[in-house]
Structure 1
Amino acid sequence: MINGTCSSRFERVGEVFAENFAKRGEVGAAVCVYENGVKLVDLWGGVADPQTGMMWEQNTLVCMMSVGKGMSALCVHRLIDRGAIDLHAPVAQYWPEFAQAGKGAITVKQLLGGLAGLIYADAAPPNSIMNWKVMVGALEQQAPEWPPGTKGAYHSMSMGFLMGELVRRVDGRPIDQFFREEIAQRLDVEYGYGLNDEQIARTARIIPNPESVTANAIKDRASKLGRAWKARPAGSEYYSTDEFRRGVLPSSNGHGNARSVARIYAALSLDGTIDGVEILKPGSIERLREEQWDGICGMTDRHFRYGQGFFLGGLPLAPLGPNRQAFGHPGAGGALGFADPESKIAFSYSPNFMCGGAGVGDRCEALVQAVFA
């Protein structure tokens, strides 16, 4: 059932991965760990699609949900490194229509840091989530929920659109193309937005969990998360539809696997370069992990620490190991990717059975704990 390799140094990770199947209800998943730029754990196993019986193989892909937000932020940071974006400039300098409804002074730094208060897109009609032009237009019309810079919030629905449109306005390429050409192809990883026929044929089916706090909140259109996601088609099976898999929704439909995401974070754990390939300039990770807020999130009412497009360590709902300066991004259902530059560790986990609760779930927590045991 379980395939791959696991260094004796991380033997406990392999044991926990097996325990997840035996004791914690795992259906199909992969886990990968890098240390000092060397891949030391690369395991996968289980069933990718219970409806067809397709097993989880080495090249199986799966939706990793909000892990994609960190990847979209990485694209913006790459343009900052290039000098194409000024971190302290107003967003409207690059995207003039963004200035509507009192947003003219919001800076790129506030947007990256979850301080823009732009958590809804009320003008977007139901079922329009995959229409980029409609969603971006709705965000242009939307007023901030509070004075920008005064409160932090996880921009659950909007962040991918905000990062993606900023990238498109500055660079000219849509974010799926930018990420593919600037990061995925250069690092030889398979992660991105929008799948083709061949990739769909080896993509795992997302298995909803009725105990998911986030999923249940999104279903409740009276909740803050429900209001934010009202443009998304209803129903938990949407994750496995062609529309979802082929579309570009950087907030939640990045598809890949643990091996690919861990390699990206491995580069970040080594100050932006791995195997001679630079994706960020030396020193830029200090910008990624500069704390922007530490407190109760204005969207989820959960306690988070947030940097510039990435969650920071030290909180139980997003376990990134013992280092509070580790940074990364979880995904609803339990997927996770993070870098700990102090220990030169990079980690990723990609399951298809969503976890219960409000965090990444017991399967992911146990694996992270095993890495640092």
Structure 2
Amino acid sequence: MEIHGSCSDRFGAVREAFADSLRDGADVGASVAIRLDGEPAPAANPRVTIPVGAYVTAQDTWSTRWRRAEIPAAAGYGNARSVAAVQSVLADGGRTPSARLLSEATCRAALDEQSHGTDLVLGIPVRFGTGYALASDDAPVDTPSPHTCYWGGRGGSLIVNDLDARMTVSYVMNQMTHLGLTDPRGRKLLRAAYEALRG
């Protein structure tokens, strides 16, 4: 098994958790990226990404027709590094290294609760903000910060924005599961990232 890319010593636990997932067969190829204060915290380079969406099989996503379709909330193409780069604008208060794209107030508005209860499609408890699920005691994705928003794909991908830590964690895989937000692979990497922050 080869892992390519770089990782600062601070996030070595994330690299090890990622390597464990590859070694034990939980992943056959994936990518993880972390951005802290709007800057990359280097992690493993991307391998392969499979787009995900509700009520489709992995085989459906292999077609040219699927790749050309405009499917809201699905059919995103990217690796963990590109997803983290785009999403880190939110975690970094609306700034990129070169420009302000959103106000801090707009970023914080994503944390305004819109609903909280069992999602009728997913069948699990979810607290929704604007465009994201929010941290809560019954959330499938556990974070230590109350100012965290996240979402994932049916196949197991996960994106987490922590507005207090100004950290974005992105996990993108190429082996889809049916577990969605309850998939342990991305959550394991998220726990390792928080351990690295505390470290």
Q: CA deviation at 1:360?
A: 4.1
Structure 1 residue 286 and structure 2 residue 108: aligned?
A: yes
Hey, what does 1:347 align to over in structure 2? 169
Matched, 1:5 2:6: yes
Separation in 2 of the partners of 1:316 and 1:257? 29
Counterpart position of 1:249: 71
Contact 1:258 1:348 in 2 (8 A): yes
DSSP 3-state at the match of 1:275: coil
Moved over 6 A (4+): none
Residue 130 (structure 2) pairs with residue 319 (structure 1): no
Please name the residue that 1:272 is paired with.
Answer: 94
1:75-123 Cα offsets, whole Å, 9 max, x none, are xxxxxxxxxxxxxxxxxxxxxxxxxxxxxxxxxxxxxxxxxxxxxxxxx
The residue number in structure 1 matching 2:158 is 336
Query: Does structure 1 residue 262 correspond to structure 2 residue 84?
Result: yes
Shift of 1:271: 0.8
1:368 corresponding residue in structure 2 = 190
* SS of match in other structure, 1:339: strand
Contact 1:337 1:348 in 2 (8 A): yes
- The CA distance in 1 between the partners of 2:142 and 2:67, in whole Å, is 28
Q: Alpha-carbon deviation of 1:22?
A: 0.8
C-alpha distance in structure 2 between counterparts of 1:30 and 1:309, whole Å:
23
Aligned equivalents of 2:57, 2:113: Cα separation in 1 = 36
Aligned to 2:181: 359
Flag structure 2 segments of 5+ consecutive residues without an equivalent: none
Question: Gapped runs of 5+ residues in structure 1?
Answer: 46-55, 67-155, 157-217, 219-233
Identity, % of aligned positions: 25
Matched, 1:297 2:119: yes
How many angstroms does 1:315 deviate by?
A: 5.6
* Mapped partners of 1:330, 1:299: distance in 2: 14
Residue 238 of structure 1 is matched in structure 2 by 60
Alignment match of 1:63 (pick from 21, 27, 50)? 50
Corresponding position: 1:31 with 2:18: no
Alpha carbons of structure 1 residues 306 and 240: separation in structure 2 relative to 1, 3 Å: same
Larger Rg: 1
SS in 1 for 2:143: coil
Distance in 2, matches of 1:6 and 1:235, equals 33
The structure where helix makes up a greater share of residues is 1
Q: CA RMSD in A?
A: 2.0
Corresponding pairs, count: 194
Please identify, of 3-12 and 242-251, the stretch whose mean Cα deviation from structure 2 is larger.
242-251
When normalised by structure 1's length, the TM-score is 0.49
**Residue type of the partner of 2:66?**
F
Whole-angstrom CA distance in 2 between matches of 1:372 and 1:245: 34
Q: How does 1:190-209 map to 2 (within 5 A)?
A: none
CA distance in 2, matches of 1:325, 1:351: 26
1:365 is paired with a residue whose SS is helix
Amino acid at match of 2:122: T
* CA positional deviation for 1:329: 1.6
In structure 2, how many angstroms separate the alpha carbons of the residues matched to 1:327 and 1:314?
Answer: 10
Q: TM-score, normalised by structure 2?
A: 0.88
SS in 1 for 2:77: strand
* 2:17 corresponds to 1:16: yes
Give CA deviations for 1:137-170 in whole Å, capped at 9, x if unaligned: xxxxxxxxxxxxxxxxxxx6xxxxxxxxxxxxxx
Shift in CA distance, 302/27, structure 1 to aligned 2, threshold 3 Å: same
Cα distance change on mapping 1:272 and 1:320 into 2, 3 Å: farther
1:250 deviates by 2.4
Shift of 1:317: 5.8
Report if the CA contact (8 A) 1:271-1:341 is conserved: yes
One-letter amino acid of the structure 2 residue matched with residue 335 of structure 1: S
